[in-house]
């Protein structure tokens, strides 16, 4: 089978945050006494992009970028003029589709009033707020630096500045949380009328403060009850679930994350950023990730030292890698897309597909790969069945 190059996105990692949260396992670094070298980091990001473009020149030829995502850390620590300079540099180096989705993550506690005008003028057309909860006690337990009222004010400020595409991140199954508390968080989020809500369970990740000293969390049955009740509440308000933890108003699904889940390609620039690039000519899919430490990344300045790892995804790994993303989507993906975007014959996964059907994990639909409600609940088991 020949390999088809999928849509291309760009991920930009901004590694600093005001304070590291105890549940966070992202590559984020709390601020210290001296401010980070923000302006220099912008220059190094563009140098990194130049180096990746040179390394992947043949694979990237003629492919426009469909979305850009600023993740972190807390990207809103960077002033609008720096974001504008970076986006101008990206446009000089890569073609963007008309109306490309450009998302900036922000912490409600780090945004100064009036900054949203600047981000909008820079070209950022989607804002994602890390709210997590509207309960001040739960926010303190999570180590967040904002209050519920500050979160509401920040969202309204973005709307006043002209933003019409806004995501709110919410967590459930928080320390000592009851069902009523999880539903109250969703209700307050809906009241702000964002276009998209990411609603995901708090989990204890390795190498975090919470993993070392676990807080009292609801058990699995209570967490599942919260998920089902909140999902119903979101549906009644017009937010359709399209991914395990993502809900959107009509035509407001996140284009960037959809590209991930549909096994699209993405360049990753910045400390610790990951990328995936398909080369139709060689038939290879390559993953590359950057050095995690911001100082080491900047000292490499686009040289080989900026690369933390680089590998070709083996044919044995591809089925698992593909399903790890695709089966998160409630509607799944076209059955034919597996062969198109992996270059492997469909027969390679026929046995695992048949087993998943027998166990009631996948719908018996020859045209699409998508999980049943049972499959969604036991998604990790479904995906693991595609391991080599």
Residue 334: which CATH number?
A: 1.10.10.10
Domain termination site, one of 210, 226, 259? 259
241 and 362 share one domain? no
For residues 243 and 197, the answer to whether their CB atoms sit within 8 Å is no
**CATH number reported for the structural domain that contains residue 158 in this entry:** 3.20.20.70
Joined together, the tokens standing for residue 173 give 């199954």
198 and 344 share one domain? no
For residues 332 and 339, the answer to whether their CB atoms sit within 8 Å is no
pLDDT level of residue 112 (50, 70, 90 thresholds): low
49 closest CA partner among 105, 84, 87, 17: 87
**DSSP string for residues in 292-343:** S-HHHHHHHTTSGGGEEEEEEPPTTTHHHHHHHHHTTBTT-EETTHHHHHH-
246 and 322 share one domain? no
pLDDT level of residue 294 (50, 70, 90 thresholds): very high
Domain assignment of residue 1, yes or no: no
Confidence (pTM): 0.96
Domain assignment of residue 243, yes or no: yes
Give the pLDDT of residue 110.
78
Kindly report the backbone phi and psi dihedral angles of residue 125, in degrees, each rounded to the nearest multiple of 5, phi listed first.
-115, 5
Nearest-Å Rg of the Cα atoms of the chain is 21
Domain assignment of residue 345, yes or no: yes
Domain termination site, one of 240, 259, 278? 259
28 and 101 share one domain? yes
Number of separate domains in the chain:
2
68 closest CA partner among 5, 119, 15, 124: 124
Domain termination site, one of 259, 285, 306? 259
Which of 110-124, 127-141, 360-374 has the lowest average pLDDT? 110-124
74 and 194 share one domain? yes
pLDDT level of residue 34 (50, 70, 90 thresholds): confident
CA distance 178 to 173: 8
CA distance 292 to 309: 10
Give the pLDDT of residue 2.
82
Domain assignment of residue 301, yes or no: no
CA 205 to chain centre: 17
For 154-210, write each residue's pLDDT tens digit: 999 999 999 999 999 999 999 999 999 999 999 999 999 999 999 999 999 999 999
101 and 208 share one domain? yes
Domain assignment of residue 310, yes or no: no
Q: Is pLDDT above 80 for 114?
A: no
19 and 142 share one domain? yes
> What percent of the chain stands above pLDDT 90?
92
128 and 249 share one domain? yes
pLDDT level of residue 1 (50, 70, 90 thresholds): low
For 84-98, write each residue's pLDDT tens digit: 999 999 999 999 999
85 and 232 share one domain? yes
376 and 232 share one domain? no
**Three-class DSSP labels, 34-65:** CCCCHHHHHHHHHHHHHHHHHHCHHHHCCCCE
47 and 156 share one domain? yes
Domain assignment of residue 122, yes or no: yes
211 and 85 share one domain? yes
Domain assignment of residue 360, yes or no: yes
Domain region containing 376: 318-384
For 49-76, write each residue's pLDDT tens digit: 999 999 999 999 999 999 999 999 999 9
Domain assignment of residue 285, yes or no: no
pLDDT level of residue 25 (50, 70, 90 thresholds): confident
């Amino acid at each position: 089978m020949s390999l088809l190059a999928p849509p291309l996105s760009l991920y930009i990692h901004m590694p600093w945050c005001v304070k590291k949260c105890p549940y966070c396992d992202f590559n984020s670094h709390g601020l210290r006494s001296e401010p980070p070298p923000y302006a220099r980091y912008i220059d190094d990001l563009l140098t990194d992009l130049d180096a990746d473009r040179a390394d992947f020149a043949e694979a990237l030829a003629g492919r426009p970028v469909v979305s850009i995502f600023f993740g972190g850390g807390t990207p809103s620590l960077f002033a609008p003029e720096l974001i504008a300079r970076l986006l101008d540099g990206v446009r000089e180096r890569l073609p963007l589709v008309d109306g490309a989705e450009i998302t900036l993550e922000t912490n409600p506690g780090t945004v100064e009033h009036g900054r949203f005008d600047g981000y909008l003028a820079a070209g950022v057309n989607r804002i994602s707020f890390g709210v997590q909860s509207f309960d001040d006690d739960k926010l303190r337990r999570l180590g967040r630096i904002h209050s519920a009222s500050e979160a509401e004010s920040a969202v309204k400020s973005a709307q006043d500045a002209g933003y019409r595409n806004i995501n709110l991140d919410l967590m459930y199954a928080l320390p000592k949380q009851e069902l009523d508390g999880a539903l109250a968080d969703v209700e307050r989020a809906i009241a702000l009328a964002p276009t998209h809500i990411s609603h995901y369970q708090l989990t204890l990740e390795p190498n975090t403060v919470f993993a070392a000293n676990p807080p009292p969390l609801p058990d699995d049955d209570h967490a599942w009850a919260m998920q089902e009740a909140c999902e119903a509440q979101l549906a009644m308000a017009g937010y359709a679930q399209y991914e395990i933890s993502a809900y959107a108003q009509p035509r407001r699904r996140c284009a960037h994350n959809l590209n991930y889940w549909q096994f699209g390609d993405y360049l990753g620039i910045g400390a610790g950023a990951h990328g995936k690039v398909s080369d139709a000519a060689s038939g290879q899919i390559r993953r590359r990730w950057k050095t995690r430490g911001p100082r080491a990344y900047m000292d490499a300045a686009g040289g080989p030292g900026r690369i933390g790892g680089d590998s070709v995804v083996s044919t044995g790994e591809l089925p698992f890698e593909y399903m790890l993303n695709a089966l998160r989507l409630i509607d799944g993906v076209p059955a034919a897309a597996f062969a198109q975007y992996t270059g492997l014959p469909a027969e390679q996964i026929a046995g695992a597909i048949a087993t998943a059907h027998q166990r009631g994990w996948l719908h018996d639909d020859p045209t699409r790969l998508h999980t049943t409600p049972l499959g969604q609940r036991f998604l990790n088991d479904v995906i693991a069945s595609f391991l080599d």
